[in-house]
Amino acid sequence: MKLPSPSKLKDIAALINCQYDGSDDHIITGLNEIHMVEAGDIVFVDHPKYYDKALNSKATTILINKKTECPKGKALLISDDPFRDYNKLVLHFQPVSYSMKQISDSAKVGAGSVIMPGVYLGNNVTIGTNCVIHPNVVIYDNCHIRNNVIIHSNTVIGADAFYYKKRADKFDKMISCGRVVIEDDVEIGALCTIDKGVSGDTIIGAGTKIDNHVQIGHDTQTGKMCLMASQVGVSGVVKIEDGVTLWGQVGVKSDIHMGKGAVVLAQSGVGMDLEAGKSYFGTPAQDARTKMRELAAIKMLPDLMKKINA
């Protein structure tokens, strides 16, 4: 997320009452999770395994639980609990407030769009022109629906990321401050969920068509003209290029890249990056022809075992 206006290191440090290493006037313009960081952002890191990744990322301020050498041109915020303090900053810059109206006062609906009964539009939601939002759809705060979009009944856009930090006796929730952006000409079936980004945008690319019961995790971004059949589940932070097709009940692990035009056959489980233009099948998903050869070989296996045992 972008801060409402650029802030100084000194002032941010005061908000979370922590030490810092850097110029008082070092400028901070945003707050982002490691997958989404840009120059100007704060990123947080609390595990030694990821220190180097965070220090060398595009983020120019690192909220960290260790005194370490500050990379040139960057600044450190030194906290005993970066996760807690990151959440504190998120809530400071984007305080939670629940609109208690079906259509919030700050929601905007474009010309020619139909908002059917029972729909909930949260704070700052925008709906473009010529959309149809079917009954009982729920759109959480700060989500954006562009033009000519159809969303079928009881779909939920912008619920929180499924993202927790395990403590000894509880899970601490990561506060999601990102958004969902649905581009032009998208159609989304009934009973789908598209979660908001943790700090960035979950994006459904223009012309993409999504069937019923589909789950799209936080910060996942699809290209243009993708197809997702019913009951597909895509985890968070997945990057799907243009023209990808996922058939029914496919599952996709987090942080995967799917090349342009890749096709995943029904019920497959995708656990690795997919190449452009290729077809995949199986759990775990692999090249579809390789998988078919394995299935053919398995069919002959019981007889082979019988012969070997005889």
Subset of residues 121 to 180 that bind its own copies, contact rule: CB under 8 A: 132, 134-136, 138, 140, 152-154, 156, 159-160, 162, 164, 169-171, 173
CB-based contacts of 77: which residues, under 8 Å, 6+ apart? 9, 12, 13, 16, 18, 19, 20, 42, 61, 62, 63, 64, 85
Smallest distance, Å, CB 147 to its own copies?
Answer: 13
Angle (CA) 72-58-182 rounded to 5° is 160
Q: 48, 73, 95, 117: which one contacts its own copies (CB under 8 A)?
A: 117
Smallest distance, Å, CB 119 to its own copies?
Answer: 9
Which range of residues in 18-26, 59-67, 70-78, 116-124 is near its own copies by CB under 8 A? 116-124
3-state secondary structure of 84: helix
31 contacts 104 by C-beta, under 8 angstroms: no
Is the bond preceding residue 284 a cis peptide, omega within 30 degrees? Answer: yes
Q: 211, 244, 258, 274: which one contacts its own copies (CB under 8 A)?
A: 211
Task: For residue 213, state whether it binds its own copies (rule: CB under 8 A).
Answer: yes
CB neighbours (10 Å) of residue 10? 14
Task: For residue 195, state whether it binds its own copies (rule: CB under 8 A).
Answer: yes
- Footprint of its own copies on residues 214-233 (CB under 8 A)? 215, 217, 225, 227, 229-231, 233
Residue 47 a catalytic site member: no
Q: 191, 260, 278, 287: which one contacts its own copies (CB under 8 A)?
A: 191
Q: 68, 126, 129, 249: which one contacts its own copies (CB under 8 A)?
A: 249
Q: Are strands 75-78 and 19-21 parallel, antiparallel or unpaired?
A: antiparallel
Euclidean distance between CA atoms 176 and 63, whole angstroms: 17
* Active site amino acids: 218
